[in-house]
Amino acid sequence: MALISLKSFHFYSPGAPASRRILMTLSKSLSSVSERRKPQSYSPAAVRVLCSKDKCRDVFCRKNHVQLRMQSLSVIETMHLYGDTGSSAKAHERWMDEQVFFRTLKSLCTSQEIFKFLRSLEVMSDIMASGALQRISEVEVDDDGLKNPEDVLENEVFRALCFQLEFESSKLSNTGLLNALQALIKLRVDPQSTLIASLLSESEERLANRKLTVDSLCSLGESLLELEGPSCAMLEQIVSHMQEKDIENWSPREMAMVYKILQVAVGEREQYRDLLNRMNSATLTIAYQLSPKFTSVILNSLVALHQTHVVPLILALCKHSVKHVPYFTDDELVSVLEAFLFFGHREQIFTEALEKHVPESIPTMHPETVSKVMQYCCQKKILSKPILDAVAESFISNADSFTTDQIAEYIVPFGTLNYLPPNASSLFRKLEAILHTRFSQFQPHALLNLLHSCVLIQRYPVNFLPKVFSPYFLQQLQGKKQPPGLDRVVASQLTQLFLTVTLECPFYEGPKLLPKYQVNAFLTTQSFLDVHLFKKVKSGLLYLLKKRIYFSSEVSTPYFYTMPQVKCWLTLIKSIQGKTLAKIKLVGILH
Please state whether the predicted TM-score (pTM) of the whole model is above 0.85. Answer: no
pLDDT digits (tens, 9 = 90+) for 405-416: 999 999 999 999
Spatial distance between the Cα atoms of 452 and 454, rounded to a whole number of angstroms: 5
pLDDT digits (tens, 9 = 90+) for 3-23: 444 443 333 333 333 222 222
Every domain of the chain and the residues it spans? 368-517, 528-575
Q: Would you state the pLDDT for residue 93?
A: 44
What is the band of 365 on the pLDDT scale with cuts at 50, 70, 90? very high
pLDDT digits (tens, 9 = 90+) for 537-566: 778 888 888 887 777 665 545 544 444 334
* 317, pLDDT greater than 90: yes
* 267, pLDDT greater than 70: no
Please work out, in degrees rounded to the nearest 5, the angle formed at the alpha carbon of residue 241 by the alpha carbons of 293 and 254: 15
Contact call for residues 224 and 244 (beta carbons, < 8 A)? no
Of the listed ranges 422-436, 458-472, 575-589, the least confidently predicted one is 575-589
Spatial distance between the Cα atoms of 563 and 417, rounded to a whole number of angstroms: 15
Contact call for residues 549 and 489 (beta carbons, < 8 A)? no
User: Mean pLDDT over residues 425-444, rounded?
Assistant: 93
H or E element in which residue 377 lies? helix 367-379
DSSP symbols for 164-228 = HHHHTGGGS-HHHHHHHHHHHHHTT--TTSHHHHHHHHHHHHHHHTT---HHHHHHHHHHHHHHH
Alpha helical stretches, state H, 457-545 = 465-468, 471-479, 488-504, 528, 534-545
* 404, pLDDT greater than 50: yes
Spatial distance between the Cα atoms of 299 and 335, rounded to a whole number of angstroms: 7
Q: Would you state the pLDDT for residue 532?
A: 57
Q: How many residues does the chain have?
A: 591
